Structure 1
Amino acid sequence: MKKIFFLFFALSLFATAIYSQNASTYFPASTGYKWYFKNTPLDSNNNPINNLITYRIDSFATVQNYKGRLANFLLSKSNLVNFNQNAPYTDTNYINFTGTDAWTYLNLSMLPDTMLFLQDSGFVNWIKSFENWYSTFRFAQNVGSEYTIFSRDTSIYIDTLGMTVPLTLSLKAIRLNDQTVNTVYGNYLSKKFVSTFRVIYRPFPFINLTLYARPDTAWFASGIWLVKEHIPSSTFSLAAFSIPYTLKIPGTLTELAVPTSIKPVSSEIPQHYELEQNYPNPFNPVTNIRFKISNAGNTKITVFDLLGKEVGILVNQYLQAGAYEVNFNAANLTSGIYFYKLSSGNFTDLKRMILIK
Structure 2
Amino acid sequence: MRQVERAIFDLRRGLPILIRGDAGDLLVHPLEGCDDDALAALATLSGNPPALALTRHRLALLEREIETRAALVPVAAASLADDIVDWACREAASLPADIDLRDADPIHVAAIDLMRIGLLIPAAVVSAVSPAQREKVEALISEGTLLAVPLAPIAAYDAAPSRFLKRTSEAEIPLSHAERARFVMFREADGMREHIAILIGDPEAWSDAVPVRLHSACLTGDLFGSLRCDCGEQLRESVRTIDERGGGVLLYLAQEGRGIGLANKLRAYTLQDGGLDTVDADHVLGFGDDERTYGVALEMLEQLDIARIELLTNNPEKIAAMDQGGVEVVNRRGVYGKLTKQNRRYLNAKAERAGHWLEEVLEQEGEAELGSLKRPFAR
Q: What TM-score results when the alignment is normalised by the length of structure 1?
A: 0.24
Q: Higher helix fraction: Structure 1 or Structure 2?
A: 2
Q: What TM-score results when the alignment is normalised by the length of structure 2?
A: 0.23
Q: Higher strand fraction: Structure 1 or Structure 2?
A: 1
